[in-house]
Amino acid sequence: MKILIRILLSAVAVLFLSYILPGVHVSNYLAAVIVATIIGLLNIVVKPVLVILTLPITILTLGIFLLVINAFIILFADGLVDGFAVDGFWWALIFSLLLSFLQSLLNSGLDDEKC
């Protein structure tokens, strides 16, 4: 139940960001839910592999390269979901930063004891 709530909150964040960022486009609510699910799955499966493979450059940049990995995850999701489009790397970077911020705000209201 808790994971479903997190996916729906992430979908709300995706929709909100698509309205305020001109470089991010989501066609409908179902696409936002699919995007939230795909990004979550990519963060679980692909991101750890990328982090390990790019560990030297991440260390050299003091972790800032992780932002680039997040942007590539968004661009990868763009390629997988038909109703989701990002206009370029910089929009993906801005979207990933704001999405992380919004998700942390929205998920902070979820207590482990409540769900």
pLDDT value at position 108? 86
Q: Give the pTM.
A: 0.90
pLDDT value at position 74? 97
Sequence ranges of the domains in the chain: 2-107
**Integer CA distances (angstroms), 100 to 42, 53, 63, 93, in order:** 14, 22, 16, 11
Q: Mean pLDDT over all residues of the chain?
A: 93
Question: What stretches in the chain show pLDDT beneath 70?
Answer: 111-115
